[in-house]
């Protein structure tokens, strides 16, 4: 992002700006003060804690301005504060302004889950011909999507946005913000993370992706979702139904499935295609990616080349199932208190026949508020929802102290990690012994805690 303070103030309808130099250029926007670099705008959102509390950390890291909710206490002296009614709304308005300034073609994709995503494959294919930027990690909600937009390079031509859906109204907001030229619903799914109750409700929720779809835009939907297809009938935008059956508007035909690749044809492109990953699921992803690429002007040949070399990265957040039948939600590469609280809340509500088990490791680099931020996770842990808790790391000892009287004897375990002593192997051993088929396990920590080793150990035969 490259915007002047003046531009930001105008875009967010600032009530007031406390600054000396409104021509000063801002080079990025961050809501996590740990990620601020020189020249950035700080965006104090309400997470587990109120971001306004951390403005000094942001300044120390090089922030040159901040958004600031009106009547929010003392504004740091000699610092540019852009005063607004609501910081989240301002952040979204700013993203919208930046999008209109850069004007990439926007592709909005929802419904991705599983190991690889249509979003990644689409971005991989488009990258062969265009300057393409895509949603990183899980930045797909009302905060993550504006963040993605504001993080795109100035020369972005195609922007592939993942649009996440947890509640009714989510996709309405994301779609009207980003106003995609192409929108794709990859599947209805029965994802653990959706609280819609019924598949009908999920289908309705997914259809909100058309709320911001351009008049001359295209909606891509699975042909084999009887709940979805009727909802597309009254749209004035073009609707393309995809699948593996000839009755779909566009379809793939699998020719050969091998261990490491699949060969297939596509009804709308010449010749045969290969993806260097197995599975019919990935052929559906590839079909959507190829369709989008074709509509955006790529040649059949270019699409073929791009698909043949797509590299799929593992999702950072993954559902796994081990040989014992334990379901594992692995989210072990980064952590902040907000995200940990949110994932614990949704995990607590997920239906399961077995027990819910949480394995939580330290969140790193939280400075002198670290103790209280770890302790605050007690607000998200209740023995009748999450029956067993394994805490790992020196900061998590503070959380252990807060919840130990609430958790019955034997249901809360603590493992230390210091320079001298690392009890990770005990943690692994106990988990392997104590987990039962049908249990559901959440693992979450900062990357530096190395919980990925625990995930690997649980996945061993
Ligand atoms: O769930 S999210 O991760 N989300 C991001 C967007 O895509 C989808 C997923 C998420 C994270 C969301 Cl939705 C919202 C927020 Cl606000 C955040 C977030 O980053 N929250 C963070 C905090 C909170 N609450 S990051 C962060 C880092 N901060 C602590 C609080 C916090 C570090 C810090 C620690 C101590 C000081 C300053 C900063 C300090 N200053 N100590 N003394 N002075």
Each residue of 45-54: pLDDT tens digit? 999 999 999 9
Residue 190 — very low, low, confident or very high, per pLDDT cuts 50/70/90? low
Find the 292 Cα to ligand 1 centroid distance in Å: 35
pLDDT tens-digit readout, 267-276? 999 999 999 9
Residue 298 sits in the same domain as residue 322: no
Ligand 1 probe mutation, 34, 44, 54, most atoms within 8 A of CB: 54
Q: Is residue 233 part of a domain?
A: yes
Whether residue 254 contacts residue 262, with contact meaning beta carbons closer than 8 Å, is answered with: yes
Closest CA to 42 of 25, 60, 59: 59
The residue whose two tokens read 């508020």 is: 369
Lowest mean pLDDT of 96-110, 219-233, 315-329, name the range.
Answer: 315-329
Q: Is residue 185 part of a domain?
A: yes
Residue 201 sits in the same domain as residue 293: yes
Listed in sequence order, the residues at least 6 apart from 3 whose beta carbon sits closer than 8 Å to its beta carbon are: 11, 25, 26, 94, 97, 98
Mean pLDDT over 435-451 rounds to 97
Residue 8 sits in the same domain as residue 124: no
Report how many domains make up the chain.
3
Find the 362 Cα to ligand 1 centroid distance in Å: 14
More confident of the two residues 194 and 78: 78
Residue 299 sits in the same domain as residue 202: yes
Q: Which atom of ligand 1 is nearest to the CA of 164?
A: 8
Mean pLDDT over 239-256 rounds to 97
Residue 444 sits in the same domain as residue 415: yes
Taking phi first (over 0 means left), then psi (-120 to 50 degrees means alpha), and beta for anything else, what does residue 272 get? beta
Residue nearest to atom 16 of ligand 1 (CA): 47
Q: Is residue 98 part of a domain?
A: no
Residue nearest to atom 27 of ligand 1 (CA): 32
What is the percentage of the chain residues whose pLDDT exceeds 90? 85
> By residue range, what is the domain housing residue 264?
103-308
Q: What is the CATH number of the domain that holds 77?
A: 3.40.1390.10
Residue 241 sits in the same domain as residue 381: no
Residue 298 sits in the same domain as residue 429: no
Residue 253 — very low, low, confident or very high, per pLDDT cuts 50/70/90? very high
Q: Is residue 290 part of a domain?
A: yes
pLDDT tens-digit readout, 174-189? 999 999 999 999 988 7
How would you class 353 by CB atoms within 10 Å of its CB: exposed for 0-12, middle for 13-18, buried for 19 or more? exposed
The residue whose two tokens read 């793939």 is: 252
Residue 261 sits in the same domain as residue 326: no
Q: What is the CATH number of the domain that holds 379?
A: 3.90.190.20
DSSP assignment of 297-366, as one string?
A: T--HHHHHHHHHT--PPPPSSEEEE-TT--EEEEE-S---HHHHHHHHHHHHH---SS-EEEEEEPPP--
pLDDT tens-digit readout, 267-304? 999 999 999 998 888 999 999 999 999 999 999 999 99
Listed in order, strand segments (DSSP E) in 20-135 are: 25-26, 28-30, 40-42, 65-69, 80-84, 105-110, 132-134
Residue 286 sits in the same domain as residue 432: no
Ligand 1 probe mutation, 339, 342, 446, most atoms within 8 A of CB: 339
Contact residues of ligand 1, CB 6 A cut-off: 31-34, 45, 47-49, 51, 54, 56-57, 138-139, 141, 143-144, 147, 336-339, 342, 366-369, 373
| pLDDT at residue 112, as a whole number | 58
Mean pLDDT over 407-424 rounds to 97
Residue 262 — very low, low, confident or very high, per pLDDT cuts 50/70/90? very high
Model pTM score:
0.94
Residue 113 — very low, low, confident or very high, per pLDDT cuts 50/70/90? low
pLDDT at residue 116 tops 90:
no
pLDDT at residue 191 tops 90:
no
- Let me know how long the chain is: 461
pLDDT tens-digit readout, 339-359? 999 999 989 998 899 999 999
Whether residue 400 contacts residue 391, with contact meaning beta carbons closer than 8 Å, is answered with: yes
Residue 343 sits in the same domain as residue 446: yes
pLDDT tens-digit readout, 382-415? 999 999 999 999 999 999 999 999 999 999 999 9
Find the 47 Cα to ligand 1 centroid distance in Å: 6
Ligand 1 probe mutation, 32, 57, 91, 151, most atoms within 8 A of CB: 32
Q: What is the CATH number of the domain that holds 145?
A: 3.40.1190.10
Mean pLDDT over 18-32 rounds to 92
Three-class DSSP category at 149: helix
Whether residue 340 contacts residue 363, with contact meaning beta carbons closer than 8 Å, is answered with: yes
State the first-to-last Cα distance of the chain, in angstroms, to the nearest integer.
47
DSSP state of 367: G
Q: Which atom of ligand 1 is nearest to the CA of 46?
A: 16
Residue nearest to atom 14 of ligand 1 (CA): 47
What is the percentage of the chain residues whose pLDDT exceeds 70? 97
Using the Cα atoms of residue 40, residue 44, residue 49 and residue 53 in order, give the sign of their dihedral: positive
Domain boundary among 258, 275, 308: 308
Residue 23 sits in the same domain as residue 108: no
pLDDT tens-digit readout, 133-154? 999 988 999 999 999 999 999 9
Residue 193 sits in the same domain as residue 261: yes
Find the 441 Cα to ligand 1 centroid distance in Å: 24
388-392 sheet: strands from edge to edge: 318-321, 327-331, 440-444, 356-361, 388-392, 412-415
What average pLDDT is seen over the chain? 94
pLDDT at residue 167 tops 90:
no
């Amino acid at each position: 992002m490259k915007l002047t303070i003046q531009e930001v103030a105008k875009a967010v309808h600032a009530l007031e700006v406390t600054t000396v130099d409104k021509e000063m250029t801002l080079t990025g926007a961050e809501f996590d003060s740990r990620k601020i670099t020189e020249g950035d705008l700080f965006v104090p959102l309400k997470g587990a804690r109120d971001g306004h509390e951390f403005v000094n950390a942001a300044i120390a890291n090089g922030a040159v301005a901040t958004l600031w909710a009106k009547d929010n206490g003392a504004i740091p002296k000699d610092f540019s504060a852009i005063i607004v009614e609501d910081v989240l709304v301002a952040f979204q308005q700013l993203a919208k302004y930046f999008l209109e300034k850069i004007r990439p073609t926007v592709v909005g994709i929802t419904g991705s889950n599983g190991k690889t995503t249509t979003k990644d494959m689409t971005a991989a294919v488009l990258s062969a011909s265009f300057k393409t930027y895509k949603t990183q990690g899980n930045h797909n909600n009302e905060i993550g999507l504006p963040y993605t937009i504001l993080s795109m390079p100035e020369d972005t031509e195609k922007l592939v946005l993942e649009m996440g859906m947890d509640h009714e109204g989510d996709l309405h907001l994301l779609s009207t913000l980003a106003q995609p030229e192409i929108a794709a619903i990859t599947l209805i799914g029965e994802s653990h993370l959706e609280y819609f109750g019924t598949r009908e409700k999920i289908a309705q929720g997914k259809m909100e992706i058309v709320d911001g779809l351009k008049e001359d835009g295209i909606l891509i939907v699975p042909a084999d979702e009887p709940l979805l297809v009727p909802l597309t009938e009254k749209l004035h935008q073009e609707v393309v139904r995809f699948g593996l059956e000839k009755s779909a508007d566009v379809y793939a035909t699998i020719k050969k499935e091998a261990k490491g690749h699949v060969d297939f044809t596509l009804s709308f492109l010449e010749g045969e295609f290969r993806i260097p990953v197995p599975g019919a699921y990935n052929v559906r992803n590839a079909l959507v990616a190829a369709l989008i690429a074709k509509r955006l002007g790529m040649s059949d040949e270019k699409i073929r080349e791009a698909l043949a070399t797509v590299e799929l990265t593992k999702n950072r957040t993954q559902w796994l199932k081990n040989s014992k039948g334990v379901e594992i939600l692995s989210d072990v590469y980064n952590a902040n208190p907000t995200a940990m609280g949110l994932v614990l809340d949704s995990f607590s509500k997920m239906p399961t026949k077995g027990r819910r088990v949480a394995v939580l490791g330290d969140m790193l680099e939280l400075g002198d508020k670290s103790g209280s931020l770890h302790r605050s996770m007690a607000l998200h842990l209740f023995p009748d929802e999450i029956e067993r808790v394994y805490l790992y790391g020196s900061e998590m000892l503070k959380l252990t102290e807060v919840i130990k009287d609430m958790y019955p004897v034997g249901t809360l375990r603590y493992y230390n990690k210091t320079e001298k002593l690392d009890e990770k192997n005990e943690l692994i051993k106990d988990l392997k012994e104590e987990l039962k088929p049908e249990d559901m396990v959440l693992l979450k920590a900062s990357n530096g805690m190395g919980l990925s080793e625990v995930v690997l150990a649980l996945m061993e035969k």
